[in-house]
Amino acid sequence: MSGALYRVETARGNDEQVASMAAEVRRGLLATPRWLPSKYFYDDRGSRLFEEITAQPEYYLTRTEEGLLARIADEVVARVRPRELLELGSGAGRKIRLLLAAMARAGLLRGCILLDINARFLADASRALARDFPGLAVRGVVGDFLGDLDLLGPGGDRLAAFFASTIGNLHPDEVPPFLARVAGHLAPGDAFLVGVDLVKDVARLEAAYNDRAGVTAEFNRNILRVLNDRLGADCDPGAFGHVAFYDRAHARIEMRLRSLRLQRVRIPAARLDLKLEAGEEIRTEISCKYTRASFAARLTGTGLGLVHWYTDPEHLFALALLAPESARDG
Ligand code: AVJ
């Protein structure tokens, strides 16, 4: 039998993951204002809820990015001529198929690496890609795109991709060091395709994070269930309301959980016993929105330059094609 060509590795053991999560949660919940790292949304239920968000009529991001990618995939592959695709934060791994198909059409497709925080989604996506692209060698790495890039090895004939405007979850100050680290895994001639949600009408932005069906609210509250499951917390998700609004000054959506009453929350693994006032909020996510200029300003000193800025006709979303400066400068 032709064994499907895929393997999945985990960067860190479970105890180590729980210990670092406990430390991060402790630090965030003791800060003023309180916050939680948004990567902890994505257990199996959270990853599924995010997939459900992408199908909501208000959530224009995913369908706009997919439409744009379908239009430009062949052109990007013709420019970069990659043999290996590397996707950061791959999730269900649908968009990557558009690029893999373009690479296959160009006769270039050899390997693909997926990095994602959710082991189950990663294994499912890796298996499905290996099945659907015969001969493709798929490597799945369970990890986080901020901490675990070093597992990805050196570049060369590589196109890296970071879709969904997940880069918006980073504070703008974190973007240049992140891009510089990605640049360290690219060789001259390689490229990095980054999905970027754009500054737009406030009503449209706020609607995308307050869908009528309430899926985003459920996704937001899911982080509390993750605290319960992984850290032995006793959070009551029903005692928190969903808050999402656009902060114009910082050009970002902020998502928060608002305590609906005075309550106590215990998180044993994080050695926390908190009293939350009625109305007190915990920030669970920032989702920064960019313009071409504000995004380009984040590239300074990263070793990456903007090769091309692709956008949809309505200018809702952009795909920025970045490349190591040395490659552009010759
Ligand atoms: C996939 C992280 C980019 O910020 O729009 C969707 C996650 N949060 N609805 C985003 C999300 C609320 C999404 N990212």
Smallest CA-to-CA distance from 248 within 207, 194, 288 is with: 288
- The answer for residues whose C-beta is within 8 angstroms of residue 17's C-beta and 6 or more apart is none
The answer to whether the peptide bond before residue 33 is cis (omega within 30 degrees of 0) is yes
Per-residue tokens: 168: 């918006």
Give residue 128 CA to ligand 1 midpoint distance, Å.
24
Cβ atoms within 10 A of the Cβ of 57, count? 11
Q: CA–CA separation, 300 vs 240, rounded Å? A: 40
Pocket test for ligand 1, best of 38, 49, 50, 167 (most atoms within 8 A of CB): 50
Give residue 219 CA to ligand 1 midpoint distance, Å.
10
* Ligand 1 neighbour 287 (Cβ under 6 A): yes
pLDDT score of 11: 76
* Atom number, ligand 1, closest to the C-alpha of residue 244: 12
pLDDT score of 330: 44
Is residue 50 within 8 Å of 91, Cβ to Cβ? yes
How confident is the prediction along the chain (330 residues), in pLDDT tens digits per residue?
456 799 999 878 889 999 999 999 999 999 999 999 999 999 999 999 999 999 999 999 999 999 999 999 999 999 999 999 999 987 777 899 999 999 999 999 999 999 998 888 899 999 999 999 999 999 999 998 988 898 898 999 999 999 999 999 999 999 999 999 999 999 999 999 999 999 999 999 999 999 999 999 999 999 999 999 999 999 999 999 999 999 999 999 999 999 999 999 999 999 999 999 999 999 999 999 999 999 999 999 999 999 999 999 999 999 999 999 974 454
Smallest CA-to-CA distance from 305 within 148, 175, 167, 192 is with: 192
Cβ atoms within 10 A of the Cβ of 62, count? 21
Per-residue tokens: 90: 């791959």
* Ligand 1 neighbour 246 (Cβ under 6 A): no
Is residue 245 helix, strand or coil? strand
Can you say how many angstroms the Cα of residue 37 is from the centroid of all Cα atoms in its chain? Answer: 12
pLDDT score of 93: 73
* Ligand 1 neighbour 254 (Cβ under 6 A): no
pLDDT score of 329: 52
Cβ atoms within 10 A of the Cβ of 15, count? 8
Q: CA–CA separation, 64 vs 38, rounded Å? A: 23
Tell me the pTM: 0.96
Q: CA–CA separation, 95 vs 67, rounded Å? A: 10
Is residue 174 helix, strand or coil? helix
**Closest residue by CA, ligand 1 atom 5:** 287
Q: CA–CA separation, 309 vs 175, rounded Å? A: 17
Give me the helix-helix angle, 60-80 and 44-54, nearest 10°.
90
Task: Tell me the CA distances in angstroms from 107 to 100, 110, 282, 292, one per residue in order.
Answer: 10, 9, 49, 32
- The answer for residues whose C-beta is within 8 angstroms of residue 150's C-beta and 6 or more apart is none
Pocket test for ligand 1, best of 169, 194, 289 (most atoms within 8 A of CB): 169
